Structure 1
Amino acid sequence: MQKITPFLWFDGNAEEAVNFYVSVFKKNSKVLEMRRAGDTDAAPVVSATFQLHGQRFMALNGGPHYKFSEAISLFVDCETQEEVDELWSKLLQGGGQPQQCGWLKDRFGLSWQIIPSVLGKMLGDKDPEKSRRVMEAMLGMVKIDIQGLQRAYDGAGK
């Protein structure tokens, strides 16, 4: 069992959010438990436990007192542009908002970073000019474009 579990506060829509996240991250993702305020499936969900890519999360219908902010985001390490594109598109469904540098807010207000692995490798390059160009390119992007990063890394357009 994992020692630390992210605990997410929702305003009455935890069940919808949990089902949405499990549908987006299908691989090794599932609802583990829905705890309801009654004995029927129609009773409102009080809390839920779910898994995304093997990572355990908890959700609470805590009410309108607290909202998500960018102070906490979920970072998703993507291997390909296709994975970036797919997750970006799915997480924006239903009213999400794209933001700068690979960040977005989903329709529940939770912030996500949809980042290709290659970005970290390029930013960590020993050549400071290459990493500077990549950083500059990334700062001009909303959804991260691996080809655009590669062009900047290679110095294309100089």
Structure 2
Amino acid sequence: MRAKRILRPLLPGAMATLLALALHAPGAKAQEPPASGGKPAAAKRASTRLGQLRRARPRALERAPEIGTASWYGPGFHGKRTASGRHFDATAMSAAHPWLPLGTWVRVSLVGSQRFVDVVITDRTGQTSRVIDLSPAAARKLGILSRGTAQVAVSPL
């Protein structure tokens, strides 16, 4: 998990480096910069593909909510830095999710009841068995603080 956090910011730079090497490789045709001052066609295609990959999973989630086990994390993490760079606040309506973009607002609904809570994704989960990890405040509002875990449906707002 730590390796992913370290490598994730490096990926866009690595893509740009590979693209530059491919454009300047021996035998490659030199491209003239576009007259409009925009990106070369190959760079536009690469950035479009990268954008499609980043949007693929959240779009799939828009069709059907993600259903699984939710848990909460709390007192020991209060004040520590999250994956988004902010400090974790146990009283805030926040959550950790394995792959949704940081800063995404989602609705977490308790399966089999009318209870729900809206939270912002500020961190990454460390466990693959959980769909989402809620802050203690969000877990209290949802009514799962005493149980620890519950079946929920997660859908973006």
TM range (shorter): under 0.3
Q: Which has the higher contact order (CA 8 A, sep 6+)?
A: 2
**TM-score (norm: length of structure 1):** 0.26
State the TM-score, normalizing by the size of structure 2: 0.26
Q: Select the structure that is richer in strand.
A: 1
